[in-house]
Amino acid sequence: MKKSWMGFLGLLMAACGAGNPNKQLADGIWQAKLHRADGADIVFNFEVKDTAGKKVLFVLNANDRLLVDDVKLQGDSLFIKMPFFDSEFKAVLSSDSAAKGVWIRHLADKDVSVPFSAIAGQAERFPVAQKATVDVSGRWVTQFVSPTDKDKAPSLAIGEFKQTGDLVHGTFLTTTGDYRFLEGAVSGDTLKLSTFDGSHAYLFTARVANDSIANGVFYAGIGDGLQYFSAVRNDTAKLPDEKTLATMKPGQTKLDFTFPDLNGNKVSINDDRFKNKVVIITLMGSWCPNCMDETGFLSKWYDKNKDRGVEVIGLAYERTTDFEKSKKSLEGFLKRFDVKYPVLITGVTPADPEKGEKTLPQLTGIKGFPTTIFINKKGEVAEVHTGFSGPGTGEHYEQFQSDFNRLVTQLLAN
């Protein structure tokens, strides 16, 4: 599919007369679609604006507005580079308010692409054929099952949604993070939700009764990946304690690591800079949307609190073992969030089953990204938190911030 659509894009540019100076990119709200081969279009919206004489756009998901400022229009050829996750759009404007082309993800070992189209002036994400007959507001215990691995135990999540009229915002919470900002609608008893941020490209469809969700299909990404899901309403449901998923091995109290920063300089947890301080270590990667949310929080938090006797270290697990490629992926990510604390390149990929033993053998393992490790002033590990509840989780994000600040203050006092 990649070759055929890239070839089609070239023919489309030629047919439309790439280089035509009369095409513009209409301001306002656009509806966009990623066209999967199975016909499940992943729908999202973006807003185009003029800023200081330059076109920028904001990808819209629920209450999130993701700024995309690398937008180029050359004649009728449109090039949009996403700020994270190394992905981009290449398209042709058939008019000021319609575009067609491809979305391309640059992975560590290959590029993958999917057809893309967009039309201006359509703020509606999903059509609502009839007034909602159900309300999905609340908390739902959810089971996801792979159709190709039916013998495997279902993966569990908690869906949390807020419905206003026909419109729905929410997310799914898991032990290792959340699905970020989901937006959609209920038409009759049919629920549709989607999100797109340059990495996540998700579509959920399901039928809803008063206390159950059935016939759910989760379309993940731009290939043919999908899962089935069902859910039951349970407003008291909770996930396992994130502090119990990864811990220090028996008899171990301290970490011991040395990795290079982006300039190749070796940095160790045993350096004088970190002695007699509270140190927060985040295991992250530029490919990870939940890591993006945590990095946004930590960068601002560090700027405000670094003089209190605290330090932050990022340990990056990139999708390649090549240092220069890892550095390139991280540079834009860290610049966007104005990160001033050291971020080190581990040289180990997140897919490596021995990533924990190779980097932090004192831990029982790395169960997900991000993982946050709190070290007291004696250099001892006080807590290990797996996953991150980002701003898309509402009150959970507020609770996270409160718990985070309380723990740091406690460690500073001892």
Mean pLDDT by 10 residues, the chain (414 residues): 51 48 85 94 95 91 93 92 89 94 85 93 92 95 88 88 96 89 96 92 94 95 87 90 87 96 97 96 92 94 96 96 92 92 96 95 92 96 91 87 95 94
- pLDDT of 243 reads 83
DSSP 337: T
What pLDDT, on a 0 to 100 scale, did the predictor assign at position 237? 86
Q: How far apart are the first and last CA of the chain?
A: 59
7 residue type, one letter: G
pLDDT of residue 21: 58
What confidence score (pLDDT) does residue 6 get? 53
Q: What is the pLDDT of residue 4?
A: 54
pTM of the model: 0.85
Q: State residue 2's pLDDT score.
A: 44
pLDDT of amino acid 405: 96
pLDDT of residue 9: 55
Q: Which pLDDT score, from 0 to 100, does residue 1 have? A: 43
Q: What is the pLDDT of residue 64?
A: 92
Instruction: Tell me how far apart the alpha carbons of residues 318 and 369 are, in angstroms, rounded to a whole number.
Output: 11
238-245, Cβ contacts within 8 angstroms, sequence gap of 24 or more: 238/158, 239/156, 239/158, 239/173, 239/174, 239/175, 240/175, 242/175, 242/385, 242/386, 242/387, 243/383, 243/384, 243/385, 243/386, 245/175, 245/176, 245/367, 245/368, 245/386, 245/387
| CB atoms near residue 404 (< 10 Å) | 17
Give me the pLDDT at residue 273, please. 95
So what's the pLDDT on residue 107? 78
